Amino acid sequence: GAEGRGARRRAGRERARPGPSRVGDGGLRCAGKAAPGEEVGVLLCDVGDAGSLATMARQTRVVLNCVGPYRFFGEPVVQACVENGASCIDISGEPQFLEGMYLKYNEKAAEKGVYVVGSCGFDSIPADMGVLYTRDKLKGTLTAVESFLSVKSGPEGLGVHDGTWKSAVYGLADEDSLKKLRKQIGYAPVPVVGAKLKKRGFVFYSPEFKEYCITFMGSDGSVVKRTQRYLHSELQQTPVQYGAYVTLGGLGSVIKLMFMGMLFLLLVKFNFGRKLLTKYPKFFSGGYFSKEGPTQKQMDGTSFTMTFFGEGYSEGQDPQTGKPNVKICTEVKGPEPGYIATPIAMVQAALSLLEDAASLPKKGGVYSPGAAFSKTKLIDRLNKRGVEFSVISKPEV
């Protein structure tokens, strides 16, 4: 709920030491007691006031950074954490921010021994950890996975806060900057192991779901690729190819989406168009995005399922020769993704940073979730909190 509410933002804390009643101009104040348990202070800080952020970061081990759109408000929090020795987790679905933080702060975070882990909400823990879960459950070598996201809502329909809408508007408007950023980083190519995963069309019919599907436009694909690159280059693990899709429903849903999508892509290219899109999110999104966000009834009636279809090679078979001969189907399911599943994922990721420290990468740095948490108990923690990972089937071809 911190998105789109002016420049004054709050950063959450995990296991912070209680502070004094006021510290300097940073506006650090105690605000009552947590019940049950010991007293927990409330720190007020402002992304425009570096001193207040430093004061906050010095008093904690992990900061939960919820200041989206991150392209406008995220970096000062990351900078304060890295410079003052606190780890940092965010729920960003903005590749430009996530990869920009890697370019700017990876080396400094490694020097300080702190971990900056982006996209620890619905974007992109279900996808990133879901691919790793699928890999670990296959007897053999997993080489390719496709995921299909289905979001179901009750009679009240779906609702999303317009902060997410703004992130999409500005992200698509600035795609060229992301390409330049990636050239600057100079990513090593991820090798293709096994049969090459075929790219599907932007819109296609899925016989498995009996619905039309489209390519998922979120950050999942780029986050999973970063994880697979890290696991291959640093841990010499076989990289997994990945395709992300979302189910839409019938032909009527496709036609409606195509019309709205073309209008969106046209307007996002121009300054006046972006102003219209951000001023009237409800109108241009067909009622899904609003400045109020979802109602409690909408959240209660909404859930998600992400289904993973994986293929690979049985134990003893060389993935570089022949066709894949084993398949697996897994799923991750949970409550309403944006406002219930996201905080669950974020808090459990923070607990993994604190309590599974021996299983984290040996040195600090800026990581994707799968790179940071592949050896931790994060999936077990999520399973206990209602974001459930399970194997559906393991048929052989």
Asked, for residue 391, whether it belongs to a domain, the answer is no
pLDDT in tens, 372-391: 999 999 999 999 999 999 99
This prediction has a pTM of 0.86
Structural domain includes residue 97: no
Q: Is residue 118 part of a domain?
A: no
SS3 content of the chain, % helix, strand, coil (to 5): 40, 20, 35
Residue 387 falls within a domain, yes or no?
A: no
Q: What is the mean pLDDT of residues 195-224?
A: 92
155 within domain boundaries: yes
Here the CATH number for the domain that contains residue 172 is 3.30.360
- Rounded Cα–Cα distance for residues 105 and 99 (Å): 10
* 156 within domain boundaries: yes
Average model confidence (pLDDT) across the chain: 87
Evaluate whether 368 touches 119 at the Cβ level (below 8 Å): yes
What are 238-280's pLDDT values in tens digits? 999 999 999 998 888 888 888 888 888 888 888 888 899 989 8
Quick check: is 52 in a domain?
A: no
Q: What's the total number of domains in the chain?
A: 1
Using alpha carbons, list the distances in angstroms from residue 132 to 126, 149, 251, 368, 371. 10, 17, 33, 13, 10
For 89: left if phi > 0, alpha if psi spans -120 to 50, otherwise beta; the answer is: beta
Domain assignment of residue 380, yes or no: no
**Which residues constitute the domain of residue 129?**
125-335
Are 17 and 52 within 8 A, CB to CB?
Answer: no
**pLDDT tens-digit profile of 290-300?**
888 888 999 99
